[in-house]
Amino acid sequence: MNPKTVLPGIGRWVAIALIASFLVTAGGPWAASGEVALLNVSYDPTRELYQDYNAAFAKYWKEKTGQTVTVRQSHGGSGKQARSVIDGLEADVVTLALAYDVDAIAENARLFPRNWQTRLADNSCPYTSTLVFLVRKGNPKNIKDWGDLARAGISVVTPNPKTSGAARWNYLAAWGWALKNNGNDEARARAFVAAIYKNVPVLDSGARGATTTFIERGIGDVLINWENEVLLAARELGVGKFEMVVPSSTILAEPPVALVDRFADKHGTKAVAQAYLDYLYSPAGQEIAAKHYYRPRDPKVLAQYASQFPKVTLFTIDEMFGGWQKAQKTHFADGGIFDQLYQPGR
Amino acid sequence: MLLRNRFTRFLVSAAAGLTVFVAGAAGSPPLRAEEAAADSKAADEKIDEVDQRVRILERKAELKAEADAEGQKTAGLVGAGKDGFFLKSADGSFILKIRGYLQTDGRAFSSDQVKPVVDTFLIRRARPIVEVTVGKIFDFRIMTDFGEGKTVLQDAYMDARFSPKASLRTGKFKAPVGLERLQSATDNFFVERALPTNLVPNRDIGLELWGGFVDGAISYAVGVFNGVADGGSADADINSTKEVAARVFVLPFKKSGGWAQGLGFGVAGSAGDNDGTLSTPGLSSYKTTGQQTFFSFLNDGKAPGTVLANGSHKRLAPQAYLFVGRFGLLAEWVRSTQKVILGTNRDEIAAKSWQATATFLLTSDKASVKGVGPKHPFDATPRGPGAIELVARAGALSVDEDAFPLFANPTASAQSAREVGAGVNWYLTRNVKFMLDGVRTRFGGGAATGDREDERVLFSRVQISF
């Protein structure tokens, strides 16, 4: 035996066996697989949408590639979900309520480029929605427009803007309506929104929670929520018990989607995750969105489902507030206007 | 709630209606009926208002409970117990444990007429331990030792626990060979380990694959290491050749219960090439339980008078134990062979050793290779005696006759050592232990004339561990 050999003969083979058996026993990234899993971190009310969408996409992907894809869902208030991803929840894709929350992930966690919104059509928003009211059958409190929400004796249900994307849209919709109807007077808009929040007895963390509070717990006279949530409640969850009220004007909500590059690369799911988002823009994906009361971008599908959506006058966050960055900083950051005017404890 | 509201509403309406009826029967004017109806409506509204308030309170309580539950998921844990102090993330992915142990010993030698040995108290081991888990499956352990006035890095290794069957360890840690060496110093039955520990590696640096099957009934470890001299530890290799060590241990009746549940047996070994130099000969001395050297190879620091390791170094170590109720038995046998050179003389020198240790608990506690956790920890009352254990041991170590006189001085190194010992251990709690044992060692050779003087030592230890 050559004393200069680094390993004795048997030792060399043992070392090779050691490494080989480790690879085989422990598996590891070299293990081939016909199955892949994605995690879609989404906002609160999209459960039913993605349940149907995921099944459709899995069927499509199987037929196209032969690979079985399983999509796990996580739902919650949009802001809360964004923070979870920043803190390490390994989403392959995010489908959140507003661009600011997706920007926060790009900015704080650097999980995908800051120009993420340009990577898909329509600013990475495959469907839109808006914010309307749900009232009890017969509209006993005669609520017709935003101004009625500030009346004394009206109880308003809306989620917490600190955690919920819908809540921030609600707040900005109310503020925007007040500006339009008071000659862009910020002070009067502030007083108006303060009066609304004085009428809010409970702040849920997300849109679905607010729906639960209003419909199942029987709290409040009016629920401000996503158009898709209100249509779902009025037409399916509480048929005959509730009515939708469309205000004179409200805000255009554009919930965006994004590929989380760093986690998708780590999981080896980038191709299927990208295809998952692309499929949202396909006719099949747009039709699923429409069936769940989200306004599709595809003009043909939108025309086909036009009758189910009320006619609304919409303003945008850009025209009324200068965009999400500015709106977030002014209204929803710690110490912002919401923190100043919300008075809990009714 | 709804039912209660409807019933309440019915009562109020009925009361209002009755009032109207009585008033009408009594011939009251129609105006009073309108007032009653208005009162009824006001009462309804009041009931609705109260109902809403109650619902709001209930919903707020519900949301608070949800938020608290959510907070529990992300809140970390801070705790302390018999296994030390720890910080742990809510999902268990990140854990920091602070542990350690302190052993304060006493050694008293008797009948040391020829070569007096100092009786002494000493800090045998003072070992802070930090253990960290990150990402659920990656562990890191670092243990230093400040005992006997020295600072030594004992353990510094990382485990990647990919599955119970296969984990990868890298760093400095105990090589998988000697049974009593692998037992933690806090769990040994005697203050000092027995003679076979002289022949097995202590800590070495390398890479090891380890794991278990059948819920740990079969365990294995196989690794590649720098290679150390018998009984030794090292922080770097003395030559470029490496050593392979492996161990398989079986508890065949672990899952079936019965008296044999605590029976375990296995075999370990190592093989490699070991080449020494004048500054680092690569050979060991063998020590008694009293930590006195009784055998060493010739070494005067010069080439003609220093024996060097020179090639193949192999060890074989069958081992077994049996723990049944209050009784325990542990045994091992080790053979170590090392090729050596002195000048132009070469040979392969073998050393063999064995030991058998028996334990018996006087209290109704369970004997174990991992120490005793008393059922009734000591609390200075008859109800809390702790656990009291009697121990006895016998063993021997012998070196090849071929070592003498060419490679070892027969007047300074004994060719054999045989020991017997007995003692008592008192486990006050899982964390505090008193030990008292005596060991007598007899030698074959090792003196200018006849045999080296017997060594008789009385050991004591106070140990705290967590």
**A49 φ/ψ angles, rounded to the nearest 5 degrees:** -55, -50
What is the total count of domains within chain B? Answer: 2
- Chain B residues with CB under 8 Å of A219 CB are 52, 55-56, 59
Percent of chain A past pLDDT 90, that is, above it, reads: 79
Selected residue of A211, A217, A266, A346 to mutate for chain B interface (largest B Cβ count, 10 A): A217
Q: What's the CA angle centered on A220, arms A219 and A221, to 5 degrees?
A: 140
Residues of A in contact with B59 (CB under 8 A): 202, 213, 217, 219
Can you name the CATH fold of A35-125+255-281? D-Maltodextrin-Binding Protein; domain 2 (3.40.190)
Q: What gap in Å lies between CA B285 and CA B271, rounded to an integer?
A: 20
Same domain membership, residue B440 and residue B349? yes
- The tens digit of pLDDT for each residue in A149-182 reads 999 999 999 999 988 889 999 999 999 999 999 9
Whether the pLDDT of residue A346 is over 70: the answer is no
Which positions in chain B have a beta carbon within 8 angstroms of at least one beta carbon in chain A? Answer: 2, 52, 55-56, 58-60, 63, 66-67, 162-163, 165-166, 168, 207, 209, 211, 222-224, 240-244, 246, 271-273, 275, 310-312
Lowest-pLDDT range, A17-21, A45-49, A201-205, B96-100? Answer: A17-21
Boundary-marking domain end, from B31, B55, B72: B72
- Whole-number average pLDDT of chain A: 89
Do B341 and B461 lie in a common domain?
A: yes
CA angle A322, A325, A326 (to 5 degrees): 50
Shared domain for B284 and B352, answered yes or no, is yes
DSSP string, A50-101: HHHHHHHHHHHHHHHHS-EEEEEEEEE-HHHHHHHHHTT---SEEE-S-HHH
Cβ <8 Å between B224 and A21 = no
Record: contact A1-B311, CB cut-off 8 A: yes
> Among B59, B224, B311, whose Cβ lies nearest the Cβ of A217?
B59
pLDDT confidence tier of residue A101, bands split at 50, 70 and 90: very high
Strand partners, B391: B359, B423
Pair B65, B125 in one domain: no
Assess whether pLDDT exceeds 60 at residue A193. Answer: yes
Q: Based on the domain organization, do B59 and B106 belong to the same domain?
A: no
* Assigned CATH for A129-253+310-341: 3.40.190.10
Strand order of the sheet with strand A93-95? A68-76, A35-43, A93-95, A257-259
Average the pLDDT over A302-324 and give the result: 93
Check B63 against A219: CB less than 8 A apart. no
On whether residue B364 sits in a domain, the answer given is yes
A205 contact residues in B (CB cutoff 8 A): 63, 66-67
The average pLDDT across A177-188 equals 95
- Do B393 and B348 sit in the same domain of this protein? yes
Check pLDDT > 80 for residue A32: no
Q: What is the structure's pLDDT at A22?
A: 46
Tell me the HSE value of B53 on the side-chain side, using a 13 A CA sphere.
9
| Predicted pLDDT of residue B32 | 81
Instruction: Look at residue B232 and give its three-state secondary structure.
Output: coil
User: A9 burial class (0-12, 13-18, 19+ CB within 10 angstroms)?
Assistant: exposed
Angle at Cα A300 formed by Cα A298 and Cα A304, nearest 5°? 115
One-letter amino acid of B60: K
| Nearest CA distance, A10 vs chain B (angstrom) | 8
Phi then psi for residue A209, to 5 deg, are: -60, -40
Please give the full DSSP string across B144-198, using - where no structure is assigned: EE-GGG--EEEEEEEEEEEETTEEEEEEEEE-S--HHHHS-TTT-SSSS--GGGG
Cβ contact, residue pair B241, A205, below 8 Å? no
Residues of A in contact with B243 (CB under 8 A): 11
Q: Confirm if A164 and A207 have CB atoms less than 8 A apart.
A: yes
pLDDT of res. A16: 55
Q: Do B58 and A217 touch (CB under 8 A)?
A: yes
Domain range for B254 is 101-129+180-465
Quick check: B314 and B337 in contact, CB under 8 A?
yes
Q: In terms of domains, do B115 and B36 share one?
A: no
Fold identical between A35-125+255-281 and A129-253+310-341? Answer: yes
Cα–Cα dist A26/B164, whole Å: 9
CA distance B350 to A45: 76
What pLDDT is stored for residue A9 in this prediction?
Answer: 47
Please state the domain extents for chain A.
Answer: 35-125+255-281, 129-253+310-341
B435 or A205: which carries more pLDDT confidence? Answer: B435
Q: Write down the pLDDT at residue A221.
A: 96
Best of B208, B209, B213, B314 to disrupt the A interface by mutation (most A CBs within 10 Å)?
Answer: B209
Q: What pLDDT, on a 0 to 100 scale, did the predictor assign at position A345?
A: 52
* pTM, two decimal places: 0.62
Q: Are residues B118 and B247 in the same domain?
A: yes
pLDDT the model gives residue B2:
42
The answer to whether residues B445 and B399 touch, using CB atoms and an 8 Å cutoff, is no
According to DSSP, the residues that pair with B389 across neighbouring strands are B361, B425
User: In terms of domains, do B120 and B243 share one?
Assistant: yes
With H, G, I as helix, E, B as strand and everything else as coil, classify residue A25.
Answer: helix
Measured torsion, CA atoms of residues B293, B297, B298, B299, in degrees rounded to the nearest 10: -80
Predicted confidence at residue B54, as pLDDT, reads 93
CA distance A238 to chain B (A): 17
As given in the structure block, the two tokens for residue B321 are 């134990």
Amino acid at A287: E
Which chain A residues are within 8 Å of B240, Cβ to Cβ? 4, 6
Task: State both tokens at B300.
Answer: 């005067």
A33 versus B450: which is more confidently predicted?
Answer: B450
Going by pLDDT thresholds of 50, 70 and 90, the confidence category of residue A31 is: very low
Q: Are B328 and B280 in a shared domain?
A: yes
Residue B370 lies in a domain: yes
Q: Render each residue's pLDDT in chain B as its tens digit; 466 residues.
A: 444 455 555 555 555 455 445 544 444 556 788 888 888 888 988 998 899 999 999 999 999 998 888 777 666 778 887 778 888 887 677 889 999 999 999 999 987 677 778 899 999 999 999 999 998 889 999 999 999 999 999 999 999 999 889 999 999 999 999 999 999 999 999 999 999 999 999 999 999 999 999 888 999 999 999 999 999 998 988 888 899 999 999 999 988 878 888 999 999 999 999 999 998 999 999 999 999 999 999 999 888 899 999 999 999 999 999 999 999 999 999 999 999 999 999 999 999 999 999 999 999 999 999 989 999 999 888 888 999 999 999 999 999 999 999 999 999 999 999 999 999 999 999 999 999 999 999 999 999 888 999 999 999 999 999 9
List residues in chain A touching B: CB distance below 8 A. Answer: 1, 3-8, 10-11, 14-15, 18, 21-22, 25-28, 155, 201-202, 204-205, 209, 213, 217-219, 346
DSSP B296: -
pLDDT at residue number A18: 52
- The verdict on a CB contact (< 8 Å) between A11 and B163 is no
Does B48 map to a domain? yes
Residues B67 and B113 placed together within one structural domain of the fold: no
- Verify whether the Cβ–Cβ distance B224 to A204 is below 8 Å: no
Residue B271 and residue A218: Cβ atoms within 8 Å? no
Q: How far apart are CA B99 and CA B102, in angstroms?
A: 11
Domain co-membership, B197 together with B296: yes
